[in-house]
Amino acid sequence: MRVHSGEAKLNNMKKLLGRLATILGAKPQASPTRREATPSSAQGSSQTPFVAFQPHNAIEQMLAEAAIKPDARMAFQQALLEADLYVATPDAPEAVRMRMAGEAESLSVLNVKRPDGVSVAAIFTAQERIVEVFGVGRGFVAMKGSVLLEMVASHGACLNPGSSYSVYWTPNELARILGKLVPRTVKKGTRINLGTPADPPTALIEALKATLSRDPRITEAWFALAHWPEDGKWSWYLDVRTELDGAVVQSLLDETLKHADYAGRPLDMIVNKPGGEQGSGMRIVPLHTH
């Protein structure tokens, strides 16, 4: 893991105020210690003029586009995993340097509060954003987005707090961005309506087919559209038949799910033993019948 640390640029930064655009969307080596800090944009904001959002880099351009174009959000989330992201640290070191983080090393990062009052890590798409929120004198750590997001996934995070384009992520939303299935507790007697989707997510189905059909231990797999009457929500539903443990199936699908296009719905997966009743929806494994 690459870790850059240094003093944020001491430019004449004006504070940004504006609307929040919510974008929907968890073994790193260093573990973050969360510390609360008051964003500088919260102080004297009535005297701060509005400044239009000016992207500092490619990922910020994609963020601005995703805020107004739902079909651009998947590309933004995938690019976010490969981009360099930043967290603020309480104190700035004397010089900029690059080093490897130790396995047991603790990283102290500054937090902000979500609208519901919960403290989450503040993540930034550029060094300049740190100055806008916390002022000068703070340090920063930069690392690959997938590593950083996994470090904070269990608590959630806020991307670019105080900016015109600010994103609040719950732990479940971060899990989906990282390509991880979110555990769902299903109570006994819960009804699930399953059927063949009228408008199937072709890209997602083809990606699942390609991965699952390569492993001979996967006997069958069925893909369906699920409706959960208790909460009125919809999801995709993957029924995998194998002797493998569910965690093993999850690991087989990690990379596939990380880059998948979910077409606006979450994916639920159940792992059953081979045999039994026929699954619902579309059979995607095996690819051919005899």
Name the domain count of the chain. 2
Helix (H/G/I), strand (E/B), else coil: 279? coil
HSE at residue 96, side-chain half, CA atoms within 13 A, is: 7
| Residue 198 belongs to domain with CATH number | 3.30.300
Check whether residue 143 and residue 10 sit in a common domain: yes
Residue 75: inside a domain: yes
- Whether omega before 286 lies within 30 degrees of 0, making that bond cis, reads yes
Is residue 158 within a helix (H) or strand (E), and if so which, with residue range? strand 157-159
| The residue to which tokens 């601005």 are assigned | 64
Q: What is the pLDDT of residue 200?
A: 94
pTM of the model: 0.62
Q: What is the pLDDT of residue 276?
A: 84
Domain extent at residue 84: 2-177
Query: What type of residue sits at position 120?
Result: V
Final residue before a domain boundary, out of 149, 177, 205: 177
Residue 183: inside a domain: no
Final residue before a domain boundary, out of 146, 177, 208: 177
pLDDT at 156 over 70: yes
Check whether residue 38 and residue 168 sit in a common domain: yes
Give the tens place of pLDDT for each residue, 68-98: 898 888 889 889 999 999 999 887 665 555 5
Check whether residue 18 and residue 159 sit in a common domain: yes
Residue 187: inside a domain: no
In angstroms, what CA-CA distances link 51 with 62, 65, 98, 160, 164?
19, 18, 33, 15, 9
Residue 185: inside a domain: no
Q: What is the pLDDT of residue 254?
A: 87
Q: What is the CA radius of gyration of the chain?
A: 22
47: confidence class by pLDDT, cuts 50, 70, 90 = very low
Check whether residue 168 and residue 201 sit in a common domain: no
Give the tens place of pLDDT for each residue, 212-264: 999 999 999 999 999 999 888 899 999 999 999 988 998 899 889 888 888 88
How confident is the prediction for the chain on average, in pLDDT? 78
Residue 186: inside a domain: no
The one-character DSSP state at 143 is E
- Residues 199, 253, 213: CA angle, nearest 5 degrees: 75
